[in-house]
Structure 1
Amino acid sequence: MPQILNRSGLPIKRDQIAPSRRVDVDEIEQTLATQQNQINQKANASTVGGLATAVNSKASQSSVDTLAGTIAGKADTTALASKANVSDLASKADVSALAAKANSSDVTNALATKADASALAAKASTSALNALAATVPVIADEIPQPETTGGQAGLEGMKVPGARHQHPRLTSTTGNPASHIIGATGLATVAFTQAFDAFPGTVFTEVPPPTGVMPAQPANFRVESWIRETMTPAPSGKYVGCVVRAWRGRNLPVISLLTGLLSLLGVNTIITALTGFDPFGAPATGTTFTCVAVKRSDVV
C-alpha cells in the first residue's frame, strides 16, 4: 500500500486520517433553520436584552429570592388548598341557584316598581322638602305668658309649648309660723313670694298654732300698710309685702238681770255697760295665719 504524504511531503499518520463520510448539506441547513426558528419564537436578542435590563432595574436577585421566601412563608399553597376546596365552594353556593334567585332583569324590574325615578323626583324635590319643613312647628323656647282677662290667641302659629313648660305663678301663698304670727303690738309682717306691679288682693286665714289650742273667738285681719320696693326717685316700685293687723272677737259684757230690774227700768245700766264696748277688742297676740296675695285682674 503506497504511503500517503501530506502537502509538505511528510507521511500522514493513521490517526490523522478522518473516516470517509458523506456530508448532507441539505440536512445541515434544515437543522440550522429549525433551531433558528425556535430561537426566534422564544425571544430575539433585543427582547432578551430588554427583559434582562428591566429585571435588573426592578429588583436584584437577592431581593427576589427574599420576597419569594416571604411569600412562601405567608401563604402555603397546600394550606390554602385545604382551607378552600373548589368543589366545596361550588356545593355551598350554586351559581345556577344564585342566578335563579336574583337575575339582573328581576332586580331591575323590582327596583323600577318600588322606586320610579320620576315619581321620586315629584315626591321629594328640594322645593317640596323646604315647603314641608316650613309647615312643621318647632318647640317654643320663650317663657309662657301669664293668663289675661278675656284670653288671647297664640301669636306664634308655628311654635308649640314643650312637654314641661311652666306658666308664671300669679299668686303668693305664705304661712310660715315663724313669721306669720301676730306680735304683742297686734301686727305682723308678710313678705310675698313674688312682686306685684299693683297692690294685690289678699286673704288672711287663722290657722292652728304649732303648740296650744285655737281660741274660741275668731280673729280678724286687715292690711295695715304695703311694703314696696325702694326706688330713687319716688314713687316706690313693686309691691313685695304688707304689714298685717289682727284683732280677736270677744263676748258681750255680762249684765245681771236683777241689777237691771232694780234700776230705772234697767235701761241705764244696759246702756252704760255697752257704751264704748268693742266686740273685736280682744288681743290677737300669738295668732298664726296664712296670707294669699293674688294678682289683680283689673291691672294688665
Structure 2
Amino acid sequence: MEYMEYNEKKNLIKIIKKIVLVIVIGILLNSYLTSPSKAYKALDSYFKKTYGEEFVIKGIGRRRLKDREWYEAGIVFPKSYIDTPKENDRYYWGRGFAEIEAFGFDVGDSYGGVLLNESANEFYGKKLKELFGDNVLPVLEIDGEYKFTDFVREYSRVSKTISGGIYIFGRVESDKDREWYRKQIYEFVQFMKETGTFEYVALPINVLDKRVLSKEFQENIELQQKLVDMGLKNKRKNVEIFRRERRRLMNELPKNLTPYVKLEEINKTEIRNSVKWSVYNNLLTTGIYSPKYVESNSLEEEYGIKNYDKLSDVSFTYEEY
C-alpha cells in the first residue's frame, strides 16, 4: 500500500513538472513570438499588404489596459513622405497597433483616417477653389471610426463629424471685401447642404493676408518681429490701434511681391494656430456649426441654432482687417 502511494505521488510530481515545463516553454515561446521586434515585423508586413508600400514605423511601446495588451507605434507614415513636407507634419501621421494574442498579433492602424481626411480635402477643395480662387487650404478632420478611406463612400455609409479648418489667403481692406467673403462662405455652406454633408459640422474658416505667402514677408524677420511686438502690446488693449498698426507694418512690403510659399508645403498641424503661423495677419474668422452638431453637443447657448438659410447666419467672430 505504501509502495503504491509512493508511486502515485512520484507520478503526480512528474505530471506537475511536465505541466510546469509546458507552461514555462509556452511563456518563453509567446514572449519570443510577441517581442517588440516581432511586433515591428508584423506591423511592417501589415502596412505593405494593406497600403501597397513601405512605411516608417516609430515609437513602438507596449501598452496594457485591464485584460488587453498590445504594442503601439506612435508614428507611422509612408516612406514616400521622407524628404517632403509631410514627413514632419503630424496631420499625415497615423498609428499602428499590434494586439497581443496567443503566439501572435492582431494588427490594425489609424493611418486610414489620414487618407479619409485627404479625401475630404479633395472633395471640398474643388468647390472652395471655385469660390475663393487657388489660395485656399482645407485642413479637414473627419472624426470617429471609419470603414472606408474614400470620403464620399464613408459619408454615404454613416454621417461623420467634420471639423478641422479652412484657410483662405486673400485681402480684406474694406467692408465690401468682408461682405464678399461672407457671401462666398455662405455659398460653401449651401454646397455642403446640397451634397448632404452638413449633418455634423464644427468648422472654423479663416481669411489670412495673402502677403504672408510672399518671399518678401517670409524673409523679413524684422517685420515679423514688429508685428509680434505690436500684437502683444495692442491686441487686447486697443483693437483700433492694432488694426491701424498692422496695416501700416504690412504696407512696408513692396507692392510687387514674389510668390514663395506653396500651399501644399504648408505644415497643416502648425497652421491650425493661424495667428502664430500668419504673425497676426488673421483678417476674418467664422465658425460654421450645423444644427445637429450644436444640439447633439448641447451647445445651443454658446452657438445658437443656425440653419444657414440666410446670409446673416454667417457671422464673423473675429474682424481685424
The answer to which structure has the higher strand fraction is 2
The answer, yes or no, to whether TM exceeds 0.5 is: no
TM range (shorter): under 0.3
TM-score (norm 1): 0.22
Which one has a bigger Cα radius of gyration? 1
